[in-house]
């Protein structure tokens, strides 16, 4: 087993009018836009249930327990109920979130949207795991830093950040943890004052040919495949003026001192290759063990991306696995076998097939990079996990696919519990 290397400091629309659907039939793009205009978008406070007659759209409500205990490991305080096409109610803007107990282990869904385009009903994909007072963040999608604070987690407890792969929807807020969360104490006296560690992919080393052919341009031709270390360094370099001024006017430290970067080295003999063998069959390998949690990883298939990791966190209270972005993979079964919670990405390919006019080639490409909602339940059953949590939900807007549709299809073939993730949901593990 090879631990990570420490390197501290060191949209194309289809022709004509797209058709989108709900449970009552297809909707035109014009109807959808008209309906979405009445959605309350302040932090995803509510969503509107869309019917074929959008002028009479009804507001769907969801009564949800966002702090849910796993059956068999702790008493369930409140039963979770889900109502279709509703978004998570936001905490009041002027309410300070309750502080999180340092006891036990708790999963937080900071953001649950899949894909780069921003939506108003979900924040970008990001999760946090609080283990005995230490906090580990997995992926840093849009608004992850703000969502972290809204949970009641303390920045001063941030221990490590883990990046599954370097797509922008997974790293959009990464630099903000370094430059903002660690900048200095906020108005309630909290900050990431101690350096935290960041683990993730190293350089891919090569760019593949364009999917479907063609000759695309190349951004940054001198260094077109930077890994996490260069991503960090270039982010700090791009914001150097801000840092240099703060260092001079208020004595802020060099932001390089806020983070220690570890690019994950693959164990020898995997046979992986950025162009021909992106996620070969492999056994999980050790990434990090800090005495509180043990983190292991495997490569998973995600289109043209290399490397792309899934992570398993073994804690004193149980095990939690994060799939990152992946198509169906036997590597996921090896990694997640017997875990308490599997946090897995999900896509509704039928939605894109029936409602968008996407070409078969594009749909095939999407299927090769993601896991369809009809496939994720049987996968979880193979893994033998207790609870399946859906995240990186695509399509992300909560009014496009009803929640009960996500739940019903994900449950098929799985005998455990399914939770359709919403921003700021919590699931607690207790030993």
pLDDT single digits (tens) 349-377? 999 999 888 888 888 889 999 999 999 99
What pLDDT digit, counting tens, does each position of 53-90 carry? Answer: 333 333 333 333 344 555 444 333 333 333 333 333 44
Residue 283, pLDDT above cutoff 80: yes
Across-strand partners of 19? 28
Cα 110 to Cα 23: distance, rounded to the nearest angstrom: 28
What pLDDT digit, counting tens, does each position of 133-160 carry? Answer: 999 999 999 999 999 999 999 999 999 9
Lowest mean pLDDT: which of 86-90, 126-130, 282-286, 308-312?
86-90
Residue 269, pLDDT above cutoff 70: yes
Q: Are 341 and 386 in contact (CB under 8 A)?
A: yes
Query: 99 falls in which pLDDT band (50, 70, 90)?
Result: confident
Give the chain's mean pLDDT: 83
Q: What backbone phi and psi angles, to 5 degrees, belong to 377?
A: -65, -50
Query: 103 falls in which pLDDT band (50, 70, 90)?
Result: confident
Q: Which two tokens stand for residue 95?
A: 């309410």
* Secondary structure (3-state) at 148: helix
Residue 27, pLDDT above cutoff 80: no
**Does the CA dihedral 414-417-419-424 come out positive or negative?**
negative
- E runs forming strands in 132-243: 134-140, 158-162, 196-201
Across-strand partners of 344? 390
Query: 430 falls in which pLDDT band (50, 70, 90)?
Result: low
Residue 46, pLDDT above cutoff 90: no
Question: Residue 313: its pLDDT value, please?
Answer: 98
When computed from its CA atoms, the radius of gyration of the chain, rounded to whole angstroms, is: 21
The fraction of the chain above a pLDDT of 90, given in percent, is 71
pTM of the full predicted structure?
A: 0.82
Q: Are 136 and 128 in contact (CB under 8 A)?
A: yes
Across-strand partners of 309? 299
Question: Cα angle vertex 347, ends 87, 148, to 5°?
Answer: 50
Question: Residue 4: its pLDDT value, please?
Answer: 57
Residue 106, pLDDT above cutoff 70: yes
Of 67, 142, 141, 73, give the one whose Cα is nearest residue 107: 67
Report, as an integer, the average pLDDT of 106-113: 98
Cα 381 to Cα 288: distance, rounded to the nearest angstrom: 27
Question: Residue 212: its pLDDT value, please?
Answer: 77
Cα 159 to Cα 259: distance, rounded to the nearest angstrom: 10
Question: Residue 9: its pLDDT value, please?
Answer: 40
Cα 336 to Cα 334: distance, rounded to the nearest angstrom: 6
Cα 59 to Cα 37: distance, rounded to the nearest angstrom: 13
> Greater confidence, 248 or 38?
248
How remote is the C-alpha of 253 from its chain's centroid?
Answer: 30
Residue 385, pLDDT above cutoff 80: yes
* Secondary structure (3-state) at 277: strand
Report, as an integer, the average pLDDT of 210-214: 82
């Amino acid at each position: 087993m090879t631990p990570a290397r420490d390197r501290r400091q060191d949209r194309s629309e289809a022709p004509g009018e797209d058709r989108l659907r709900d449970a009552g039939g297809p909707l035109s793009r014009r109807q959808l836009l008209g309906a979405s205009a009445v959605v309350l978008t302040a932090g995803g406070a509510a969503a509107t249930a869309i019917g074929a007659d959008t002028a009479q759209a009804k507001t769907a409500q969801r009564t949800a327990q966002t702090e849910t205990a796993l059956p068999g490991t702790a008493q369930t305080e409140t039963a979770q109920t889900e109502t279709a096409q509703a978004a998570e109610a936001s905490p009041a803007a002027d309410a300070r979130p309750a502080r999180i107990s340092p006891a036990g282990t708790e999963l937080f869904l900071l953001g649950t949207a899949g894909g780069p385009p921003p939506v108003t009903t979900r924040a970008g994909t990001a999760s946090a795991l609080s283990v005995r007072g230490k906090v580990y963040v997995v992926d840093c999608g849009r608004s992850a830093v703000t969502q972290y604070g809204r949970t009641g987690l303390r920045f001063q407890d941030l221990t490590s950040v883990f990046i599954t792969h370097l797509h922008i929807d997974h790293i959009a807020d990464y630099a903000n943890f370094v430059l903002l969360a660690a900048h200095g104490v906020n108005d309630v006296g909290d900050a990431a004052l101690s350096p935290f560690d960041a683990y993730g992919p190293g350089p891919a080393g090569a760019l593949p040919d364009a999917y479907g052919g063609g000759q695309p341009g190349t951004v940054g031709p001198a260094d077109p495949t930077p890994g996490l270390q260069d991503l960090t360094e270039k982010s700090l370099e791009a914001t150097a003026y801000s840092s240099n001024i703060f260092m001079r006017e208020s004595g802020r430290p060099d932001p390089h001192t806020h983070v220690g970067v570890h690019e994950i080295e693959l164990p020898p003999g995997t046979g992986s290759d950025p162009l021909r063998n992106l996620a070969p069959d492999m056994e999980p390998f050790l990434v990090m063990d800090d005495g509180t949690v043990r983190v292991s990883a495997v490569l998973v298939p995600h289109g043209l991306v290399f490397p792309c990791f899934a992570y398993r966190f073994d804690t004193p209270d149980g095990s939690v696995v994060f799939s990152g972005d992946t198509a169906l993979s036997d590597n996921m079964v090896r990694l997640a076998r017997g875990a308490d919670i599997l946090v897995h990405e999900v896509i509704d390919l039928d939605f894109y097939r029936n409602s968008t006019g996407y070409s078969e080639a594009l749909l095939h490409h999407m299927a090769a990079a993601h896991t369809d909602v009809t496939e994720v339940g049987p996968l979880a059953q193979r893994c033998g996990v207790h609870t399946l949590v859906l995240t990186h939900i695509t399509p992300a807007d909560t009014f496009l696919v009803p929640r009960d549709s996500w739940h019903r299809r994900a449950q098929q073939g799985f005998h455990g519990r399914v939770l359709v993730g919403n921003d700021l949901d919590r699931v607690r593990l207790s030993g």
